[in-house]
Amino acid sequence: MHLRLKSGDDDMEMKFWNAATKAISPYVAGEQPKTRCIKLNTNENPYPPSSACEDVLRSVDVESLRKYPDPTSAKLREAVAGVCGVETEMVFTGNGSDEVLAFAFRAFFDEQTMIAFADITYSFYPVYAKSLGIPYSLIAVRDDLSIDVERYIAFKGGVIIANPNAPTGILTDTTDIRRIVEADPDRLVIVDEAYIDFGGESAAFMTKEYDNLLVVQTVSKSRALAGIRVGYAIGNSALIKALERVRDTINSYTVDSVAQAVAAAALKDDEWFEVNRGKIIASRKSLTEKLAEMGFETLPSAANFVFTTKRDVDARMLYEELKKKGILIRYFDLPRIDGYLRITVGTPEENEALCDALSVLVPASRKA
Amino acid sequence: MHLRLKSGDDDMEMKFWNAATKAISPYVAGEQPKTRCIKLNTNENPYPPSSACEDVLRSVDVESLRKYPDPTSAKLREAVAGVCGVETEMVFTGNGSDEVLAFAFRAFFDEQTMIAFADITYSFYPVYAKSLGIPYSLIAVRDDLSIDVERYIAFKGGVIIANPNAPTGILTDTTDIRRIVEADPDRLVIVDEAYIDFGGESAAFMTKEYDNLLVVQTVSKSRALAGIRVGYAIGNSALIKALERVRDTINSYTVDSVAQAVAAAALKDDEWFEVNRGKIIASRKSLTEKLAEMGFETLPSAANFVFTTKRDVDARMLYEELKKKGILIRYFDLPRIDGYLRITVGTPEENEALCDALSVLVPASRKA
Q: How far apart are CA B10 and CA B4, in angstroms?
A: 12
pLDDT band at B91 (very low <50, low <70, confident <90, very high): very high
A239 and A118 co-located in one domain: yes
CA torsion sign for A40, A29, A221, A229 is: negative
| Whether A227 and B64 lie within 8 Å, measured CB to CB | yes
Q: What is the CATH number of the domain that holds B340?
A: 3.90.1150.10
pLDDT band at A7 (very low <50, low <70, confident <90, very high): very low
B35 and B120 co-located in one domain: no
pLDDT band at A293 (very low <50, low <70, confident <90, very high): very high
B91 and B131 co-located in one domain: yes
Burial A289-327 (b: 16+ CB within 10 A, else e): ebbeeeebebbbbbbbbbbbbbeebbbeebbebbbebeb
pLDDT band at B2 (very low <50, low <70, confident <90, very high): very low
Q: Please, what is the end-to-end C-alpha distance for chain A in angstroms?
A: 60
A288 and A264 co-located in one domain: no
Q: Measure in Å the smallest separation between the Cα of B114 and chain A Cα atoms.
A: 11
CA torsion sign for A216, A220, A224, A228 is: positive
B116 and B161 co-located in one domain: yes
Residue A110 lies in a domain: yes
Largest CA distance in chain B: 68
Residue A21 lies in a domain: no
Instruction: Kindly tell me if the per-residue pLDDT of A310 is higher than 50.
Output: yes
CB A251 within 8 A of CB B98: yes
**Count of the separate structural domains present in chain B:** 2
Q: Could you tell me whether strands A340-344 and A305-309 are parallel, antiparallel, or unpaired per DSSP bridges?
A: antiparallel
Q: How far apart are CA A263 and CA A278, in angstroms?
A: 20
Report how far apart, in Å, the C-alpha atoms of A191 and of each of A117, A164, A165, A174 are. 11, 9, 10, 10
Q: Is B82 on the interface with A (CB under 8 A)?
A: no
Identify the residue among B180, B229, B330 best suited for mutation to test binding to A, counting A beta carbons within 10 A and taking the highest.
B229
Give the pLDDT confidence score for residue B10 in this predicted structure: 66
| Whether B65 and A53 lie within 8 Å, measured CB to CB | yes
Identify the residue among B2, B27, B35, B62 best suited for mutation to test binding to A, counting A beta carbons within 10 A and taking the highest.
B62
Q: How far apart are CA A323 and CA A172, in angstroms?
A: 32
Q: Is B77 on the interface with A (CB under 8 A)?
A: no
Give per-residue pLDDT as tens, B257-311: 999 999 999 999 999 999 999 999 999 999 999 999 999 999 999 999 999 999 9
Give the pLDDT confidence score for residue A28 in this predicted structure: 87
Give the pLDDT confidence score for residue A10 in this predicted structure: 66
For A219-247, the DSSP string reads: SSSTTS-GGG--EEEEE-HHHHHHHHHHH
| Whether A258 and B13 lie within 8 Å, measured CB to CB | no
| Whether B228 and A188 lie within 8 Å, measured CB to CB | no
Give the pLDDT confidence score for residue A264 in this predicted structure: 98
A65: nearest CB among B58, B228, B255 = B228
Q: How far apart are CA B305 and CA B292, in angstroms?
A: 15
B34 and B96 co-located in one domain: no
Please count the residues of chain B.
Answer: 368
Angle between helices A51-59 and A257-268 (to 10 degrees): 150
User: For residue A116, what are the β-bridge partners?
Assistant: A137, A159
Provide the percentage of residues in chain A whose pLDDT is more than 90: 88
Instruction: Kindly tell me if the per-residue pLDDT of B364 is higher than 90.
Output: no
Q: Which amino acid is at B96?
A: G
| Whether B26 and A248 lie within 8 Å, measured CB to CB | yes
Q: How far apart are CA A268 and CA A195, in angstroms?
A: 18
Q: How far apart are CA B171 and CA B159, in angstroms?
A: 16
Interface of B with A in 239-298 (CB under 8 A): 239, 241-242, 244-246, 248-259, 262
| Section B225-245 average pLDDT | 97
A116 and A249 co-located in one domain: yes
Q: Is A193 on the interface with B (CB under 8 A)?
A: no
Give the pLDDT confidence score for residue A34 in this predicted structure: 76
**A chain contacts of residue B109, beta-carbon cutoff 8 Å:** 18
Give the pLDDT confidence score for residue B33 in this predicted structure: 82
Spatial strand order of the sheet with A305-309 comes to: A297-298, A305-309, A340-344
B260 and B278 co-located in one domain: no
For residue A223, the tally of other CB atoms under 10 A from its CB is: 29
Residue A4 lies in a domain: no
Q: Which amino acid is at A331?
A: Y
B61 and B104 co-located in one domain: yes
| Section A137-166 average pLDDT | 98
* φ, ψ dihedrals at B235, nearest 5°: -175, 175
B285 and B321 co-located in one domain: yes
| Whether A251 and B45 lie within 8 Å, measured CB to CB | no
Q: Could you tell me whether strands A158-162 and A189-192 are parallel, antiparallel, or unpaired per DSSP bridges?
A: parallel
pLDDT band at B30 (very low <50, low <70, confident <90, very high): confident
Residue B25 lies in a domain: no
Instruction: Kindly tell me if the per-residue pLDDT of B7 is higher than 70.
Output: no
Instruction: Kindly tell me if the per-residue pLDDT of A138 is higher than 80.
Output: yes
| Section A157-175 average pLDDT | 98
**B chain contacts of residue A62, beta-carbon cutoff 8 Å:** 48-49, 53-54, 57
Q: Is A45 on the interface with B (CB under 8 A)?
A: yes
Last residue of a domain, one of A252, A268, A284: A268
Rg (CA), chain B: 21
Q: How far apart are CA B212 and CA B185, in angstroms?
A: 6
B26: nearest CB among A26, A34, A245 = A245
Q: How far apart are CA B154 and CA B265, in angstroms?
A: 42
Q: How far apart are CA B82 and CA B78, in angstroms?
A: 6
Enclosing domain of residue B62: 51-268
Q: Is A225 on the interface with B (CB under 8 A)?
A: yes
Give the pLDDT confidence score for residue A245 in this predicted structure: 95
Give the pLDDT confidence score for residue A51 in this predicted structure: 98
**B chain contacts of residue A2, beta-carbon cutoff 8 Å:** 182, 185, 209-211
A vs B: CB pairs below 8 A:
305
Give the pLDDT confidence score for residue B28 in this predicted structure: 87
The count of C-alpha atoms lying within 13 angstroms of the C-alpha of A161, restricted to the half-sphere facing its C-beta, is 31
Give the pLDDT confidence score for residue B206 in this predicted structure: 98
CB B245 within 8 A of CB A16: no
Q: Is B58 on the interface with A (CB under 8 A)?
A: yes
Give the pLDDT confidence score for residue A250 in this predicted structure: 96
Q: How far apart are CA A28 and CA A258, in angstroms?
A: 27
Residue B12 lies in a domain: no
List CB contacts of B109: < 8 A, sequence separation 6 or more. A18, B115, B129, B132, B134, B158
Q: What is the CATH number of the domain that holds A71?
A: 3.40.640.10
CB B268 within 8 A of CB B79: yes
Angle between helices B257-268 and B51-59 (to 10 degrees): 150
Q: Which amino acid is at A2?
A: H
Between vectors from CA B78 to CA B74 and to CA B80, what angle results, nearest 5°? Answer: 120
A116 and A63 co-located in one domain: yes
Instruction: Kindly tell me if the per-residue pLDDT of B334 is higher than 80.
Output: yes
Give the ipTM of the model, two decimals please. 0.94
* φ, ψ dihedrals at B346, nearest 5°: -100, -160
Q: Measure in Å the smallest separation between the Cα of A60 and chain B Cα atoms.
A: 8
Q: Which amino acid is at A51?
A: S
Instruction: Kindly tell me if the per-residue pLDDT of B76 is higher than 50.
Output: yes
Q: CB burial class (10 A; 0-12, 13-18, 19+) of residue A12?
A: middle
Residue A10 lies in a domain: no
Last residue of a domain, one of A236, A252, A268: A268
Mean pLDDT of chain B: 94
Report how far apart, in Å, the C-alpha atoms of B84 and of each of A5, A15, A284, B90, B265 are. 20, 24, 48, 10, 15
Residue B120 lies in a domain: yes
Residue B136 lies in a domain: yes
Report how far apart, in Å, the C-alpha atoms of B149 and of each of A356, B57, B118, B168, B171 are. 68, 44, 10, 16, 11
CA torsion sign for A101, A107, A108, A111 is: positive
pLDDT band at A331 (very low <50, low <70, confident <90, very high): very high
Give the pLDDT confidence score for residue A35 in this predicted structure: 79
Q: How far apart are CA A92 and CA A4, in angstroms?
A: 44
Q: Which amino acid is at A160?
A: I
| Section A294-306 average pLDDT | 98
B256 and B166 co-located in one domain: yes
Give per-residue pLDDT as tens, B134-191: 999 999 999 999 999 999 999 999 999 999 999 999 999 999 999 999 999 999 999 9
